[in-house]
Amino acid sequence: MSNRRSRSRQSGSSRITEEQISDLVSKLQDLLPEARLQSNARVPSARVLQETCNYIRSLHREVDGLSERLSELLATADMSSAQEAIIRSLLM
C-alpha cells in the first residue's frame, strides 16, 4: 500500500485537529493553580504541558507525605481494632 493511502486512512475520525489540541491545552491550563500560569495570557502549549507535569509530580509528593503522616498517626493512635478498620476502609 502506498504511503499516500496509508496517510489518508489515518486522517479519518481518529485524528485530532490543531483546534482540538488548542482547546484541550486551554482546558488543562485552567486546571493548573492560577499562581503558576495566567489563564487569560497566551502561554505556549509546551509550557502548559511542562507545568502540568510539574504540578502532578508535586501532588504525588504531597500525597506520599500525607500517607506517611497518616500511617504514623494510625500507628500511634489509641483505638480499637474495629475503629481502626473503619478508618482504614474509609481511606481505601
pLDDT in tens, 1-40: 445 544 545 555 689 899 999 999 989 998 998 756 565 6
Higher pLDDT, 61 or 40: 61
Among the listed residues 60, 64, 88, 61, the one whose alpha carbon sits nearest the alpha carbon of residue 74: 88
Q: Report the pLDDT value the prediction gives residue 36, as an integer from 0 to 100.
A: 61
* 29-63: burial string, b at 16+ Cβ within 10 Å, e else: beebeeeebeeeeebeeeebeebbeebeeeeeeee
Domain edges within the chain = 18-91
Range 18-91: architecture per CATH: Irregular (4.10)
